[in-house]
Homo-oligomer: A and B are copies of this chain.
Amino acid sequence: MRKISMLGTGLIGTFYTMTLLGMRNKDQIMIVSASGEESAKSFSAKWNIPRWTTSNEEAINDPETDLVVIGLPNHLHKEAVLMAVAAKKPVLCTKPLGLNAEEALEMLHAVEKAGIFAGYLEDLVYTPKTIKALASVKAGSLGKILWTRSRESHPGPHSDWFWNKELSGGGAIVDMGCHCIEIGRSFIGKDIRPLEVVCWADTQVHPIDAEDNAVGLVRYENGAIGQFEVSWTFRGGMDLRDEVSGTEGTIWLNHWLRTGYEMFTSVGQDGYVSEKAESDTGWLFPVGDEVHALGYAHMFEDMLNSLDNQTEPSETFYDGYIVNAIMDACYRSVESKKWEQVELDDWRGGEKDESIVEYTEYDENHYFIKEEKMPDGKKKMILKDKKTGQITQIFID
């Protein structure tokens, strides 16, 4: 059982709190901090949290707590982590870890040097669907992974600070690309080095400095590609989808807008439909248990069990650092309009990865390219002569 200092009372703090206090869970939040007194007070009242404060430092140093959970705006992560280190308390930090790789590396080294348990709260790697899909992929059901595509798009974030580049460190890439990048990396393999990045980003609609739309490709050393698509201008709710393509199979995950819950209503229901829904009449697509579908339940289960058992959680500050480094390369690519190297001063994965390409032999003299069933029922085989390189087709009844 854990006694927690919760920093932040925004949407992310609310989801964390709902999860930690939900179901038959045994953990408790003892103190909560918010920048505004009113927010801190009403949040503590709503969730039966004994104490509140407007000082993150006070919350972190609360004598009764043994775990710090950071749900603050991006520009406050580093300071809060360093205070948790000073207090020698385990710390869990929301995504992205830092405003950039430099900050993230400083946080990583700080917790490591102090020997403090630290978890990176990347919830979308923990959705029930993603967990099962990752297990499938690890079991080989898709063969070698060639290409992943992860999308997060919605009509824009909830809080004002998100829209301010100084406070957030960027726009849609920093807000959501961090999720997509880590999802792709998880499927492709955390041991495979992300080599280079090409990225388009633009402010297509909103009167802001940060990008409201971006698409990026992360190329890994083995040739696999992790594609991400993020948008703050999507219309229709929140689109959370992942796709994984391997040599032997395909996985498509839809976490939000099409999960088997469809509803038409001409009158609406009072209030909230689901996160970032855009209307409350007509065809709606609610999500049964949002906290669960977004991965919060399994994420905190992993974090707290790992803390209890002194093991490493699936998502660590090191993962957060890699993601920041990839995002830094993305921003450079947007400026330079070309592929940019991912700069990793601290790489702990495999040294040199083999290419995923592997030819299949058809017979002694030919490589196999493809077979297909034709409308007339015959099987067509496409082959390549190993010596001449010539490509031919043969038909088999």
Contacts and interface: CB of A to CB of B under 8 A. Distances in A.
Interface of A: 14, 23-27, 127-133, 136, 139-143, 146-147, 149, 153, 155-161, 163-164, 198, 200, 202-209, 213, 215, 217, 219, 223-225, 227, 229, 231, 233-237, 245-255, 258-273, 276-289, 292, 297-298, 300-301, 304-305, 336-339, 356-359, 367, 369-370, 372-377, 380, 382, 384, 389, 391-393
B268 A141 contact: yes
A13 to B, nearest CB: 13
B128 A267 contact: no
Given A139-B270, A206-B369, A250 B263 contact: yes
A158 B374 contact: yes
Contacts of A251: 261-264
Given A204-B223, A234-B245, A248-B266, 4 more contacts: A24-B304, A140-B267, A250-B265, A276-B372
Contacts of A272: 373-377
B219 A236 contact: no
B377 A270 contact: yes
Given A267-B140, A282-B279, A282-B281, A235 B247 contact: yes
Nearest to A240: B260
B235 A266 contact: yes
Nearest to A301: B23
Contact of A235 (B236, B246, B262, B393): B246
Contacts of A140: 267, 269
A9 to B, nearest CB: 13
21 contacts: A24-B304, A129-B261, A129-B288, A132-B287, A146-B204, A146-B233, A156-B382, A157-B370, A164-B391, A200-B217, A204-B357, A205-B358, A208-B391, A235-B250, A251-B263, A251-B264, A258-B260, A272-B374, A278-B282, A281-B282, A338-B339
A202 B248 CA distance: 18
A155 B372 contact: yes
Given A25-B25, A141-B269, A284-B283, A215 B235 contact: no
B215 A357 contact: no
A116 B164 CA distance: 57
B259 A259 contact: yes
